[in-house]
Structure 1
Amino acid sequence: MTDNETISHEEAETVTPAATGERADWLEGLAKQRHFIRFTTRDLTDEQAGLRTTASELCLGGLIKHVTRVERSWAAFIQHGPSVLPDFTAMTEADWAERAATFRMLPGETLAGVLTDYEKAAHETDAVIASVPDLDASWPLPKAPWNEPGAAWTIRHVLMHLVAETAQHSGHADIIRESLDGAQSMA
């Protein structure tokens, strides 16, 4: 962009503050994992993105929806603490069913739509990480069967979790895609 060019309000909202040092390293690692999971969906139709190709309930579009929700949840946690996340120990069967729907392409959803939403969530997360005052700030984790009672995570730990979770689901996506049509992310 030249000095004479201007950006629209919408474009301004997607401009991420520059991250440096450790933050830039974390965001670069997260960006790499985001790329792999998105790349796995290349050249697919909406129908293909919603297909289950393994014994699992997972599909490619559902995995993209899930990592989108995960990023938004943890970005909100970084900003506002555990009150923005549910008490997983008190969730009802209906709550768990709603959560499971985030792993599926639902009627009317498109792969392009879920990818666009993921890109938006990534920009939002990057902006939070670039602007948060201290990576050592911490919050108690919400109640969940998988969290140790009383445990707290620093923002740095949340970043580590986001990279790991995105990488894990990228691997799931690669297996699903290979089962779908033989394509591989790393081939």
Structure 2
Amino acid sequence: MTAAINQTVTGERADLLESLGQARFFLRFTARELTDEQAATRSTVSELCVGGLIKHVTAVERQWARFIVEGPGVMPGGDDPSAFEEYASGFRMLPGETLAGLLDDYERVAGATDELVRTLPDLDAGHALPPAPWFEPGARWSARRTLQHIIAETAQHAGHADVIREAIDGAKSMG
């Protein structure tokens, strides 16, 4: 164990980890006691399913954590039709995928991101965002801003998963 792991995380980093942990909890809690079939069920008119949302959030967190460390070159882009299909399949449970496997992968990615938050030398360090229609040209995100994006993405999709879960069997995350 490194010294950074043994140190108590306080202040802004503790707040980021707490917010991210809470959003992750609600997403995972929504999947409690689901079978693989239920986790793959599209219970609304949407293409989304609980397992697919967990898979998507895992990929998003992994990609943005890499962005923090490596910069925009790790972000997907371009007009390659296979890139869009890969992105779309990231919202679905594919044959052979299990909810347990998706949750295990999510746990590994979450652990790596948490370690990054604890040990990153500077939350102000940032990179230019990759070219995309949804980013302002020339925009930059600090590590802090990128972590806030991961938190927002996770919380948003936890809400989506809650609606899908309620439509499957009436179970709710809260209330």
TM-score range, shorter chain: over 0.9
Equivalent in 92, 95, 101 of residue 113 of structure 1: 101
- 1:43 alignment counterpart: 33
The 5-angstrom pairing of residues 26-105 of structure 1 reads: 26-87=16-77, 90-105=78-93
Give unpaired runs (5+ residues) of structure 1.
Answer: 1-11
Is the contact made by 1:140 and 1:150 (CA closer than 8 Å) also made in structure 2?
Answer: yes
The answer on 1:178 being equivalent to 2:166 is yes
Give the percent of matched residue pairs that are identical in Structure 1 and Structure 2: 59
Is the contact made by 1:138 and 1:155 (CA closer than 8 Å) also made in structure 2?
Answer: yes
SS of alignment partner, residue 138 of structure 2? coil
TM-score by length of 1: 0.88
- d(CA) in 2 for partners of 1:106, 1:21: 40
Shift of 1:159: 1.2
SS of alignment partner, residue 145 of structure 2? helix
Shift of 1:16: 5.3
Is the contact made by 1:16 and 1:126 (CA closer than 8 Å) also made in structure 2?
Answer: no
SS of alignment partner, residue 116 of structure 1? helix
SS of alignment partner, residue 39 of structure 1? helix
Equivalent in 100, 109, 118 of residue 130 of structure 1: 118
- d(CA) in 2 for partners of 1:39, 1:27: 18
Shift of 1:20: 2.4
Moved over 4 A (4+): 15-18
Cα deviation digits, residues 130-159 of structure 1 (max 9, x gap): 111111111000111111111000111011
Q: Residue type of the partner of 2:101?
A: G
- d(CA) in 2 for partners of 1:33, 1:60: 15
| Count of aligned pairs between the two proteins | 173
Q: Residue type of the partner of 1:130?
A: R
Q: Residue type of the partner of 2:140?
A: A
Compared CA separation, residues 75 and 125, structure 1 to 2 (3 A) = same
